[in-house]
Amino acid sequence: MGLVDRLEAEFLPQLRSLEAVLRERHPDLKFTTGSASTGSLTNYQGHTIHIECLFPDRGVNESDNVALTIDVCHLDRVPQIMADVCWGHPDGMLEDSLDVRWTSTDDWPEASDETLARLTQTFPRLSESFVAAVRRGRPAA
């Protein structure tokens, strides 16, 4: 099983379950869960698995979305991985992360079995951070 297939098998069902719970709790918000290739025309060569919440009542100068994403890059060589909960533009605030020291793809670790095990262990915390961000409706102060 390839890396993307492995990530989808483990995390997409959890994200879809989380989406169902959040849709019931917050019927006024819009949620999407998915998996897609990214950067196919660039050196990035990646994939993202995500759940996103859109807040339809936001002003122009406010973030209208927050997402929990698992991103992998460099699938055509040594894959690197990151997972985080982050607000959209203009805030761009990081709520939580697999490791806050990894601020660019240059810092991301190799998607080794050890890193994937760490992601599995950290995923419940990231999910709770996402739920808290949705409940709060704004980036943390």
- Span 25-35, pLDDT tens digits: 999 999 999 99
pLDDT at 5 (0 to 100): 96
User: Is residue 74 one of the residues assigned to a domain?
Assistant: yes
Question: What pLDDT, in 10s, does the model give residues 40-72?
Answer: 777 778 999 999 999 998 888 889 999 999 999
The burial of 33, by beta-carbon neighbours within 10 Å (0-12 exposed, 13-18 middle, 19 or more buried), is given as buried
Residue 86 lies in a domain: yes
- Average pLDDT (108-134) is 96
Q: Is residue 108 part of a domain?
A: yes
Q: Say if residues 68 and 51 touch (Cβ distance below 8 Å).
A: yes
pTM, two decimals, is: 0.93
Q: What is the pLDDT of residue 128?
A: 98
In whole angstroms, give the CA distance from residue 126 to residue 101: 16
- Which pLDDT score is estimated for 39? 81
Domain annotation covers residue 141? no
The pLDDT of residue 57:
85
Question: What stretches of the chain show up as alpha helix (H) in DSSP?
Answer: 3-25, 113-136
Q: Is 19 within a domain?
A: yes
* Total count of domains within the chain: 1
| Residue 140 pLDDT | 85
The verdict on residue 11 lying in a domain is yes
47 occurs within a structural domain: yes
- The answer to whether position 130 is within a domain reads yes
The yes-or-no verdict on residue 102 having pLDDT over 70 is: no
Domain of 74 in residue numbering reads as 3-136
Q: Categorize the per-residue pLDDT at 124 as very low, low, confident or very high, splitting at 50, 70 and 90.
A: very high
According to the model, what pLDDT value does residue 96 have? 93
Q: How far apart are CA 44 and CA 94, in angstroms?
A: 21
